[in-house]
Structure 1
Amino acid sequence: MLTLHHLGISQSERVIWLLEELELPYALKHYTRDPVTRLSPPELKAVHPSGTAPLLTTEEGVTIAESGAIVQFILARYGDGRLAPAVQDADFAHYLYWFHFANGNLVPHLGRVMFFGLAGVAANHSAMGFAHERVTRALAMLNDRLAETPWLAGAEFSAADVMNVFGVTTMLHFSPWDLSPYPHILAWLERVAQRPAYQRAKRKGDLV
């Protein structure tokens, strides 16, 4: 059985949600953040050198880090064509782009705003202005895409949606951002909230 090493308020929520969408059996091992640093506990370092969540231990005992890699592994081995368009499908290019948009664009820019804030960078500093502009651009791109189609890859829900929801929900716990100028993102999140698998994932993983 797969074992997911889960840390609350982290990208491991993507993996719980994916496993629930695919209705796969898995063991969920919860970890608690350090009460002072709010970082991962040292116990995770014993599971994988990265020391961060999520971590997935396979049935063969191999442990994989990085949420995107874990999602791709699960889809490749257990997806049976679900939650990803076929490579010959017209939507495959959209799927691939938006899948990687999450950790290649949106989340890093939000993270930069978060770290600048923690470092005491002034709101009117040019670096903070640049970071804010990049977040605004990323959110506008996401909103524009969702104005065209109900899900990021196209007409069907996919793992591209699983990857991106974190950036406009849980990530905002660290980098608060007003989403009211982005009505199509908000409507998308309402559709996500109606999915039974997402509701189960929220209960099991304490998703924000």
Structure 2
Amino acid sequence: MFPKPRDGNSGQIYSRRFRRAIFQQKGKTVWEDAYTPKLLASGKCDFYPSNLTKTEWRQKKLDFITLFPSRMMVVIPKGKQAQIKDVNDLAGKTAAIEKDTSFHTWLMAQNQAAWSTNPVKLTLLSTQESFAAVEAGTIDFTITDSDIAIWAAHHQFKNSKTAFPVGPADEIGWAFRKEDKDLQAAAQSFFEQQRKNPNSEINQIWKRHFGRSLTEFITLMALVK
């Protein structure tokens, strides 16, 4: 997903919605091409410190350092619990999803394969607009990362609920230029130290905002089937 940008002391950080951040020089995202995204190639930023899902097409352009494992979670209106019980029930339904996210990629793949005769009808909205559409009951479902689903369940959802996971296990992390191996190694070391210490800054931030530490969340994800 896409947390708010934050400034850091080590390197210049510049974070935007990833569909903009992964543009090539002509200002568009080309999934099948291998290139260094414009913001990194120009030196405007050194890395993307957002929670980005490691996908095949993104790895053609970037190297990832994993912060935590995740799953894609389906979010539905509470009034649709009887109609949407598992992944097979999603075929033919309406979904609100953010363009060029891993959720968008997964849904398009299902529409071309398992659901080709009864595809999901996609409406491309921002993540917050997608949540609002599910809350209002105007859309059957949306998909988000498990950490965002946990946060929204605590702080935002009133008429919605997390239903079930879909797709394979994901890796969520930060993205770097492929040639910046030293910076990647520094981020990897930082993540490992933060995860090991229950009182680390990242663990405490997670505890405040998600109700559990990052280390506890990683343990939980290992149990999700």
Same fold, TM exceeding 0.5? no
Using the size of structure 1 for normalisation, the TM-score is 0.32
Larger radius of gyration: 2
The TM-score, its normalising length taken from structure 2, stands at 0.30
Greater share of helix residues, 1 or 2?
Answer: 1
Structure showing the higher strand proportion among its residues: 2
